[in-house]
């Protein structure tokens, strides 16, 4: 196995390893002794799930999250100098996409260290696939502003790009705010605009649904309480997509 920084995806939610990760990933993981992880506990749990007999005590973990001093992360790549590979594991899905791992990858690239991404579940790409929307041009925006006025302004900007640039727009929301986000979408976007809600991707209750704003409005009464909205829009990890 070549000495490199390996980017190691994990499962999304309570899914088996075999469902979402190639068996090759296990081989790579078992060849690595140094891991940069977003959360120690969940990284250890993941490694145990990959291989029950793994000797966690023989491994070295570096924690990298919002509490980590960014000036101190260079040294996480020191094992490379001795010929040892380093793995990066995030909290969910693919590392270095929407988590602090990207900072370490940037340092590795600057130093000319080889970086190898492994295959795993990405709610971004899987929702584009299943939405039926344009996959030749799409933009992921992470979280939108929390402030309602700013959020609406941003949504209008994204919707105008759907029409002017023929571009699919993706964004995420904190699970307990999914229903509120959908209500904002339905009161903000044009009736013919399509909205895809992709919830709990790869999990047993996965649900990926594309409907026009008009159709969603028929399903969810405009004056529905937050409690009622929960029936239609579950409070689970989800990604929203809009397109014409």
Least distance (Å) between residue 241 CB and a second copy = 11
Please say whether the beta carbons of 6 and 88 come within 8 A: yes
134 binds a second copy (CB under 8 A): yes
Please say whether the beta carbons of 120 and 21 come within 8 A: yes
Please say whether the beta carbons of 28 and 8 come within 8 A: yes
List 54, 59, 73, 125, residue binding a second copy (CB under 8 A)? 125
Least distance (Å) between residue 143 CB and a second copy = 8
Distance CA 3, CA 8 (A): 15
Measured CA distances, 173 to 77, 85, 106, 186, 216 (Å): 33, 34, 26, 15, 18
Least distance (Å) between residue 80 CB and a second copy = 15
Please say whether the beta carbons of 194 and 134 come within 8 A: no
Least distance (Å) between residue 23 CB and a second copy = 5
Phi, psi of 198 (to 5 degrees): -110, 105
List 85, 131, 178, 193, residue binding a second copy (CB under 8 A)? 131
Sign, Cα dihedral of 207, 171, 92, 8: positive
46 binds a second copy (CB under 8 A): no
155 binds a second copy (CB under 8 A): no
How many residues bind a second copy (CB under 8 A)? The answer is 58
Nearer to a second copy, 177 or 209 (CB): 209
List 13, 117, 175, 234, residue binding a second copy (CB under 8 A)? 117
136 binds a second copy (CB under 8 A): yes
What are the strands of the beta sheet with 115-117, ordered from one edge?
A: 60-63, 34-37, 86-89, 5-8, 115-117
Nearer to a second copy, 205 or 227 (CB): 205
List 138, 178, 237, 238, residue binding a second copy (CB under 8 A)? 138
Distance CA 215, CA 223 (A): 16
DSSP 181-213: HHHHHHHHS-TT-EEEEEESTTSTT-EEEEEEH
Options 104-112, 145-153, 216-224, 233-241: segment touching a second copy (CB under 8 A):
104-112
Question: Looking at residue 112, what DSSP letter applies?
Answer: T
Options 136-144, 178-186, 216-224, 225-233: segment touching a second copy (CB under 8 A):
136-144
Cα angle, residue 110 at apex, residues 109 and 114 outer, rounded to 5°: 30
Options 34-42, 53-61, 126-134, 146-154: segment touching a second copy (CB under 8 A):
126-134
List 49, 180, 209, 230, residue binding a second copy (CB under 8 A)? 209
Q: Which parts of this chain interact with a second copy (CB under 8 A)?
A: 7, 16, 18-24, 94-99, 102-103, 105-110, 115-117, 119-122, 124-142, 167, 196, 201-202, 206, 208-211
């Amino acid at each position: 196995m070549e000495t490199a920084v390996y980017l190691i995806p994990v499962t999304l939610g309570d899914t088996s390893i075999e469902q979402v990760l190639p068996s090759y990933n296990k081989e790579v993981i078992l060849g690595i002794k140094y891991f940069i992880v977003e959360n120690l506990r969940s990284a250890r749990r993941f490694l145990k799930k990959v291989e029950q007999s793994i000797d966690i005590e023989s491994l070295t973990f570096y924690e990298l999250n919002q509490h980590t001093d960014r000036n101190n992360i260079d040294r996480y790549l020191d094992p490379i100098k001795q010929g040892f590979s380093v793995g990066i594991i995030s909290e969910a899905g693919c590392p270095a996409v929407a988590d602090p791992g990207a900072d370490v990858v940037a340092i590795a690239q600057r130093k000319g260290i080889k970086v190898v991404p492994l295959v795993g579940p990405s709610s971004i790409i899987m929702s584009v696939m299943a939405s039926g929307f344009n996959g030749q041009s799409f933009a992921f925006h992470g979280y939108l502003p929390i402030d309602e006025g700013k959020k609406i302004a941003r949504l209008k900007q994204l919707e105008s790009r759907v029409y002017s640039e023929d571009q699919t727009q993706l964004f995420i929301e904190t699970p307990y705010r999914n229903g509120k986000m959908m209500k904002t979408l339905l009161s903000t976007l044009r009736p013919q605009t399509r909205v895809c809600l992709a919830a709990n991707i790869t999990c047993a209750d996965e649900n990926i649904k594309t409907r026009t704003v008009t159709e969603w409005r028929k399903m969810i009464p405009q004056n529905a309480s937050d409690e009622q909205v929960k029936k239609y829009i579950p409070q689970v990890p989800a990604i929203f997509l809009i397109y014409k």
